[in-house]
Amino acid sequence: MLVRELRTRPLPWREYRKDVRVWGLPFRGLEWAFQWCAYWLSRWAFLEVLEYLSVLSVLFAVIFYFSESGDRRKQKHYQAWQVINTAQGKGGSGGRIEAMQELNADGVPLVGVNAAGAFLQGIQLPRANLLRADLGASDMRDSNLEGCDLEYAGLRYTNLRQSNLRSTNLRSADLEDADLVGAVLQGADLGEANLARADLRRADLGGVRWKQIKSVAGANLYGVRNAPEGFADWAMKHGAVAHADGE
């Protein structure tokens, strides 16, 4: 709320200059002139109108800012997808880590995203929708993919060492030759997944759904932790191995 103060009329010059030495008169005169300016301006309604208009301009700016927030978000998502699509087929990150994390944080599905061969180490994509994503041969060490939907995803030769794959949907995913050393797969769904020659050394398999796994031929199960009852025997009978050196 604006509060305007009406100034009192300045004293006449004869009274205002009293008791002022000669050398101080120019300064006192300048102050007296400013007092008269402030006095007349305080009574000018036009300035009060300008003050109200400045407040209204701020209000309109705030309204426009929030009314256009949806367009800004769309623009941000468009730019993120542009980064991801432009970098397809290229090594390195190319800004894809930040772009994918940003989209996922805003609840945008990453269905069918192509980041094959990308450097995505440490990417944080909890509960992301990565249905049919192509992440083959990408470096995703130390990543957080907890609760992700990776059904039908291409993860052949993908490096997922020490990654968090708790409760991840890996149904029908292609994990052939994937590196899952030390990964946490607690509660993951591996139904119809292809784990041929996957390196599962020291992986945590607590509570995984495994009875419909498509293939474990050549998969290395050395030192797996918390394997469900019957899993190891079944896997060995279907071609799995247990070698400490990963060969």
The residue ranges of every structural domain in the chain are 13-67, 89-247
**The model scores a pTM over 0.85:** no
State the virtual CA torsion across 229, 234, 236, 237 in degrees, nearest 10. 150
Tell me which of 43-57, 90-104, 105-119, 205-219 is least confident: 43-57
Tell me which of 67 and 183 has the higher pLDDT. Answer: 183
pLDDT category of residue 14 using cuts at 50, 70 and 90: low
pLDDT digits (tens, 9 = 90+) for 199-233: 999 999 999 999 999 999 999 999 999 999 999 99
The stretch 172-184 carries a mean pLDDT of 98
Q: Is the pLDDT of residue 59 over 80?
A: no
Tell me which of 205 and 71 has the higher pLDDT. Answer: 205
pLDDT digits (tens, 9 = 90+) for 15-25: 666 666 666 66
Using the structure block, give the residue that is written with the tokens 């945590």.
Answer: 204
Residue type, 156: R
Q: Is 184 helix (H, G, I), strand (E, B) or coil?
A: strand
One DSSP character per residue, 1-70 reads -----PPPPPPPHHHHTTT--GGGHHHHHHHHHHHHHHHHHTT-HHHHHHHHHHHHHHHHHHHHHHHTHH
Helix, strand, coil percent values for the chain (each to nearest 5): 35, 10, 55
Overall CATH class of domain 89-247: mainly beta
The stretch 182-204 carries a mean pLDDT of 98
Residue 91: its pLDDT value, please?
81
Tell me which of 34 and 246 has the higher pLDDT. Answer: 34
The stretch 36-58 carries a mean pLDDT of 68
Tell me which of 158 and 21 has the higher pLDDT. Answer: 158
φ and ψ at residue 144, rounded to 5 degrees: -110, 105
**Alpha carbon separation from 47 to 41, 42, 55 (Å, rounded):** 8, 8, 13
Structure letter (DSSP) for residue 91: S
End-to-end CA distance of the chain: 77
Residue 1: its pLDDT value, please?
47
Residue 105: its pLDDT value, please?
96
The stretch 84-93 carries a mean pLDDT of 87
- Written as six digits, the tokens of 114 are 């192509």
The stretch 29-40 carries a mean pLDDT of 72
Residue 146: its pLDDT value, please?
98
